[in-house]
Amino acid sequence: MNYVWLIGLMTLWLVSGAAAKSPPDWVTNGARLADGTTTFDLPLELLANKMYVQLELGSKQRRFVVDTGSPSMLDKALAEELGLPMVGESNGRDAHGQIIKSRVVQADLTLGDVGFEHVPMFVADFSSSPALKLFVGDGVLGSELLSLGAWQFDWSQARLRFATDVRRLPNIESAEAVPLSDFGYPHAPYFDVVFAKKARSKAMFDTGSPSYFAISEPDMQGSRAAGGLTGAWLGFGSAGASLGGAAPNTELAKVGLKSLKVSDLVLGPVVSEVRGLSPSLLGARLLDHFIITLDHQSQTAFFVPIDPSLRALPAVPSGFGFSVSYQDTIQISAIWDGSPAKAAGLQVGDVIHSVNGVAVSLNDADIRRLIVALTEEHIELGIDGKTISLEKREFNGGAEHD
């Protein structure tokens, strides 16, 4: 598989409200269900380990990315088009810890026949580049809506389902139930995770993270102390881009975990990204293996294996071994040691001019063409007048840990 961080979506947390005596009105009088239908079952668009849904906003269908690790957000141009008044401002942190000041508006959304009223939405400029517009769309359908019912993410059928009563959803009776924690606005979902007998923590289920698991530095140190690591793989480059811009180039790391459990649900050995910030993240790639239902009202999540024979997660990193960024050009943003990309001499900053013999530039169609090519077992990249051919394989190396 290819570990490609395309554009990291936002994990935006309130920091200005921490010192306030009470939360702002747009939180206390925030998202709620409209009267009427209380279930929907909608198709998902799956692209680059992200999922998108069509919803109605301003009497038109809009394309939103579904991100359980972010509050809801709205493209600045669309907010202005709809004439939505500002109801507040908030300082927050993006996925890389950068402080972001955002305007807040409230809007009414409809998914299927289910209405959501007064949804707080952080305003950001998603139309500034073709890549942002592709990977985010018109906005982010975020975590504050999770508290209003049960949400089911089913990548096997490419469906997003919702019901105010979890018993009305499929895939519940046969599921394994695990505790789900909600620490208040923006209601991001947290699970108890276990790395070793004496190493456990909380991890956020973040569908904006395109990985299986991303372990925080403190959790990695705890796992190492408990003898829970099997190996480590290093790389160099950027961890991705968020609202505050691209993360700076630095040393990157992946580690092998001997075991990963979500409460008593055994996921088994897994290779994990290492992230500098807390919390650790359970990412969207879990949805390749499980249908996951979040029911905040009962504080329970439900996991159903899509194919029990393919339940195991990857224990060793594999793929082409490079990441791509879409800033001013399409270019290599990270390289992993022991990978085909490293062996072929690719370097961070190399500009990709063609993919499989077809010229590419920074537009929607060419970015989609590259995304599809990255899912294949073989790829040819045109860089500096040369054609570089790569085949996916497991990475070499991986120093053992005691």
Task: Tell me how far apart the alpha carbons of residues 165 and 151 are, in angstroms, rounded to a whole number.
Answer: 10
What phi and psi, each to the nearest 5 degrees, are found at residue 237? 145, -155
Handedness of CA 72, 76, 81, 86 (dihedral sign): positive
Which residue positions in the chain have pLDDT lower than 50?
1-19, 402
| Per-residue pLDDT, 243 | 63
**Superfamily (CATH) of domain 13-168:** Acid Proteases (2.40.70.10)
Q: What is the pLDDT of residue 248?
A: 86
Q: Which tokens sit at 62?
A: 């809009």
| The predicted structure's pLDDT at residue 180 | 98
pLDDT at 2: 35
The Cα-based distances of 222 to 225, 226, 339 in angstroms read 5, 6, 28
Distances in Å between the Cα of 345 and the Cα atoms of 16, 240, 326, 342 are 46, 21, 21, 5
Q: What is the pLDDT of residues 68-106, one digit of tens each?
A: 999 999 999 999 999 999 999 887 666 656 677 889 999
- 3-state SS track over the chain: CCCCCCCCCCCCEECHHHHCCCCCHHHHCCCEECCCCCEEEEECEEECCEEEEEEEECCEEEEEEECCCCCCEEEHHHHHHHCCCCCEEEEEECCCCCEEEEEEEEEEEEECCEEEEEEEEEEECCCCCHHHHHHHECEEECHHHHHHCEEEEECCCCEEEEECCHHHCCCCCCCEEEECEECCCCCCEEEEEEEECCEEEEEEECCCCCCCEEEEHHHHHHHHHCCCEEEEEEEEECCCEECCEECCCEEEEEEEEEEEEECCEEEEEEEEEEECCCCEEECHHHHHCEEEEEECCCCEEEEEECCHHHCCCCCCCEECCEEEEECCCEEEEEEECCCHHHHCCCCCCCECCEECCEECCCCHHHHHHHHHHHCCCEEEEEECCEEEEEECEECCCCECCC
Q: Do domains 13-168 and 176-310 have the same CATH topology?
A: yes
Give the CATH number of domain 319-394. Answer: 2.30.42.10
176-310: CATH topology? Cathepsin D, subunit A; domain 1 (2.40.70)
Cβ atoms 146, 74 nearer than 8 A = no
Query: What pLDDT does 121 receive?
Result: 96
Predicted pLDDT of residue 315? 87
Going from N- to C-terminal start, the domains of the chain cover: 13-168, 176-310, 319-394
**What does the pLDDT read at residue 297?**
94
Q: What pTM was estimated for this model as a whole?
A: 0.92
pLDDT attached to residue 93:
66
CA angle 257, 341, 243 (to 5 degrees): 70
Q: Which residues of 353-376 are buried (b: 16+ CB within 10 A; e: fewer)?
A: bebbeeebeeeeebbeebbebbee
CA 221 distance to own-chain centroid: 23
HSE of 259, CA atoms in CB hemisphere, 13 A = 15
pLDDT, position 90? 82
